[in-house]
């Protein structure tokens, strides 16, 4: 069975600084998708970034980028130039690429605090 682990329950960063959130996963599949979701206090789940395992290039979306290390089964999220609006809980999620359903396996979440 696949598992996703986020070992940092809480992180904090100074506004305008850079922070990295960690995520590791375990799977025997060779192809899969990885996602980072943001959950602000409103509870809405917002997709931040996605990575396809067969792609070696790390995904980037504006200030958000990932460090995808397939052999190490690691998928960290880097937030550059942190803003107050980045304060939220962040979830790492895994999806089997061979499945037609979009079932996700989530990590435990990391709460990010941004200090002004």
Partner 1 sequence: NAGVTQTPKFQVLKTGQSMTLQCAQDMNHNSMYWYRQDPGMGLRLIYYSASEGTTDKGEVPNGYNVSRLNKREFSLRLESAAPSQTSVYFCASSPWGTAPTEAFFGQGTRLTVV
Nearer to partner 1, 103 or 115 (CB): 103
Question: How many CB atoms within 10 Å of residue 89?
Answer: 19
Pick between residue 43 and residue 62 the one whose CB is nearest to partner 1.
Answer: 43
Q: Cβ closer to partner 1: 4 or 21?
A: 4
The contact set with partner 1 (CB under 8 A) reads 4, 6, 9, 33, 35, 42-45, 47, 50, 52, 91, 95, 97-109
Instruction: Encode burial over 37-53: b for 16+ CB neighbours within 10 A, e otherwise.
Output: bbeeeeeeeeebbebeb
CB atoms within 10 A of CB 13: 18
Cβ neighbours, 10 Å, residue 32: 20
The least distance separating partner 1 from the CB of residue 9, rounded to whole angstroms, comes to: 7
Tokens 């942190």 locate to 82
Shortest gap between Cβ of 103 and partner 1 (angstroms)? Answer: 6
Minimum Å distance from CB 3 to partner 1? 11
């Amino acid at each position: 069975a696949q598992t996703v682990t986020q070992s940092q329950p809480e992180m904090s960063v100074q506004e305008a600084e850079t922070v990295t959130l960690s995520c590791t996963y375990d799977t025997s599949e060779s192809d899969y998708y990885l996602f980072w979701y943001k959950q602000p206090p409103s509870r809405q789940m917002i997709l931040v970034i996605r990575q396809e395992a067969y792609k070696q290039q790390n995904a980037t979306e504006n200030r958000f980028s990932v460090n995808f290390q397939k052999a190490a089964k690691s998928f960290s999220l880097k937030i550059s130039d942190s803003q107050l609006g980045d304060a939220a809980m962040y979830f790492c999620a895994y999806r089997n690429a061979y499945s037609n359903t979009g079932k996700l396996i989530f990590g435990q979440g990391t709460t990010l605090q941004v200090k002004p």
